[in-house]
Structure 1
Amino acid sequence: MENILEVNNLKTYYATDAGTARAVDGVSFSIRRNMTLGVVGESGCGKSVTALSIMRLVPDPPGYFAGGEIIWKGRDLLQLKEEEMRRVRGNEIAMIFQEPMTSLNPVFTCGDQITEQLMLHTGADRKAVREKAAELLSLVGIPSPRERLDAYPHELSGGMRQRVMIAMALSCGPELLIADEPTTALDVTVQAQILELIGSLQVSNGMSVMLITHDFGVVAELCDEVVVMYASKIVEKADVNAIFARPLHPYTQGLLRSIPRIGETRERLHAIEGNVPTAFAMPRGCRFSNRCPLADRRCLEEEPPLLEHTPGHLAACWKVT
């Protein structure tokens, strides 16, 4: 199937007083039409910065693009003027941010924030976009949608605020939805509702989804393909079934072993020893070498490339057999 988005050797750095932080350091992946790509990794690995780079929302300064390209339907987003990029943002590519309470403006009603985006991209009058906004709130499962249009963010629960964010993201019918940990800080039942909502809306709207998470349970539920990130790089990339059936990278294996399983309550959960290297001083060889039980001298001195070991299954590790 056709790739709607191609990220090639993307490098997003931050210039700070402490030095240059390589937040995203040579990341490449693609997203096909109507597919869901899961981006997995622990906090600080570069998942959210990758998403912000695609949306061209990296603050400059201190952030800047040190290389690579982001090809969206044949155009490199990094080369577009800001005015052109505004037409892409929200209209063609939309994003659900991690924390709705800090993403929604507290001094404007939810209705005002949805209608502003609709008016910007569609040019319709206020009455028409307000009606459309009420339809969107109803679509994402918010009761009494017309009344909720006049509610401020602080008057809604966490789950309701997240649904408002989803309604805003879907307002212009985007072809790609980027969801950055959309269930963070929500209770388990609301998490399930939000994930089910995203899945059903993807099917009904025919859009692609890039789902950023640290939860492999979410990945198993929704994703077609998976990218595993560690220390600003991709260490493994494969079909979701292959990741669970035969993970190749020791980091992916460690993440999967750390998932609690029914019937194993008496055993201690597996933990990956050590700490993620700082973005200011990456190790010379494999970035996982200081935490990897298989590491040898070559791992410490040579950085492994991301290679295809079986059809469609890539891993950056010298120890893959």
Structure 2
Amino acid sequence: MAMENLLEVRNLKTYFYHDGKETAAVDGVTFDLKKGETLGIVGESGSGKSVTSLSILQLISKPHGKIIEGEVVFKGKDLVKMGEKEIRKIRGNEISMIFQEPMTSLNPVFTVGNQIMEVLSQHQGLSSKEARATAIEMLKLVGIPSAEKRAEQYPHQLSGGMRQRVMIAMALACNPDLLIADEPTTALDVTTQAQILELMNDLKDRLNTAILLITHDLGVVAETADKVAVMYLGRIVEYADVESFFESPKHPYSIGLLKSIPNIDGRVERLNPITGQVPHPSEVTQGCRFANRCEYAQSICQQEEPPLFECKDRRIRCWIYSNQWPGGKGDLNGREIATGGKS
């Protein structure tokens, strides 16, 4: 029997408004997440990854930002339709989030112990004594030594790795069903990064927590995720299980991302970067959003945006994988594209 989805995001659209202009930061995003599963959302800066995660928890700044369409169904309930009072019962309790920079997410005037205790008091109704004991246990759980002493310290007294562990302890304090981790290892050194990733994997296994991992680092995705969604300019362009994705990426953008990563197995004189820059979402025109940077683009790519095509083990937003592609359906990692090259 197939496991039910814990989270279902359907056709999510989040737009921002400034000086009378409308910008589609997230434009029709759809994905599922089961309990105990990790989905990695990857892409360059400006692709809509973080806005997607903030939209799930209704943390988009108003009135400049707004979810204009779509559903975010969590445990059978649409979060988009919930009022602020109702959604606050879910934030930090059933769904928790680790933000990019703990120094700006933690309150500098309260000890880290007090900040974890507040989460427990608000959502679990624990007494001060019970909350303190649980906060110390959480600090121990995430591998912080001398937890009783650290609980009395302020964020600025801790290292970057320690602060990130505190953020994880706070996020997991109420045993959430879903953990959203937005670039959880960006500002950390390689050793600390590896420790944090190992910790997240260990906690997922022990607590069966689902994880939505937002990152630009494909190495992190390979290490931790079960599925991957590649985003570009507000849309998902490839959605697959991790093993299939790394073995054979299909979308030209996905292939470009993987080619731009150094390979420690062989000596490479020069990396292969993707040409051009990600345009601003307000500059999106008709056609495929990646067409101006794609070496395979044809006239159909400039004229009409492709939908997400179902292709065996994944979904791909590219005309190459449709019968409308000039010369017939192709496969960038299967056979040669007969009409390759820009027209």
TM-score class normalised by the smaller sequence: over 0.9
Q: How many equivalent residue pairs?
A: 320
Deviation (angstroms), 1:164: 0.3
User: Residue in 1 aligned with 2:319?
Assistant: 318
Which of 37, 47, 50 is matched with 2:49 structurally? 47
Aligned: 1:188 with 2:185: no
User: Residue in 2 aligned with 1:264?
Assistant: 266
Alignment check: 8 A CA contact 1:13 1:24 kept? yes
User: Residue in 2 aligned with 1:237?
Assistant: 239
Deviation (angstroms), 1:18: 6.1
Query: How large is the Cα RMSD of the aligned pairs?
Result: 0.9
Q: Secondary structure at the match of 2:320?
A: coil
Deviation (angstroms), 1:265: 3.4
TM superposition score normalised by structure 2: 0.92
User: Residue in 1 aligned with 2:100?
Assistant: 98
Quick one: distance in 1 between partners of 2:80 and 2:30?
A: 15
Quick one: distance in 1 between partners of 2:61 and 2:99?
A: 16
Quick one: distance in 2 between partners of 1:263 and 1:34?
A: 32
Alignment-mate amino acid for residue 292 of structure 1: C
User: Residue in 2 aligned with 1:300?
Assistant: 302
Alignment check: 8 A CA contact 2:107 2:155 kept? yes
Q: Secondary structure at the match of 1:116?
A: helix
User: Residue in 2 aligned with 1:204?
Assistant: 206
Which of 34, 37, 42 is matched with 1:35 structurally? 37
User: Residue in 1 aligned with 2:68?
Assistant: 66
Deviation (angstroms), 1:278: 1.0
Quick one: distance in 2 between partners of 1:266 and 1:315?
A: 29
Deviation (angstroms), 1:33: 1.3
- Percent of pairs with identical residues: 57
Alignment of 1:5-44 (within 5 A): 5-17=7-19, 19-44=21-46
User: Residue in 2 aligned with 1:120?
Assistant: 122
Alignment check: 8 A CA contact 1:34 1:208 kept? yes
Q: Using the TM superposition, name which of 159-168 and 213-222 deviates more.
A: 213-222
Q: Deviations over 1:200-257 (max 9, x none)?
A: 0000001111111111111111111110000010000001111111111000000011
Quick one: distance in 2 between partners of 1:234 and 1:283?
A: 17
Quick one: distance in 1 between partners of 2:267 and 2:130?
A: 55
> Could you say if the C-alpha distance between residues 257 and 18 of structure 1 is closer, same or farther in structure 2, counting changes exceeding 3 Å?
farther
Alignment check: 8 A CA contact 1:277 1:283 kept? no
User: Residue in 2 aligned with 1:89?
Assistant: 91
Q: Secondary structure at the match of 2:306?
A: coil
Alignment-mate amino acid for residue 188 of structure 2: L
Quick one: distance in 1 between partners of 2:262 and 2:302?
A: 31
User: Residue in 2 aligned with 1:80?
Assistant: 82
Quick one: distance in 1 between partners of 2:176 and 2:59?
A: 17
Alignment-mate amino acid for residue 258 of structure 2: L
TM superposition score normalised by structure 1: 0.98
Q: Which runs of 5+ in 2 are unaligned?
A: 322-329, 331-343
Which of 156, 171, 174 is matched with 2:173 structurally? 171
Which of 291, 294, 300 is matched with 2:293 structurally? 291
Deviation (angstroms), 1:314: 0.5
Q: Secondary structure at the match of 2:92?
A: coil
Quick one: distance in 1 between partners of 2:169 and 2:290?
A: 39
Alignment check: 8 A CA contact 2:262 2:268 kept? no
Deviation (angstroms), 1:87: 0.7
Alignment-mate amino acid for residue 264 of structure 1: G
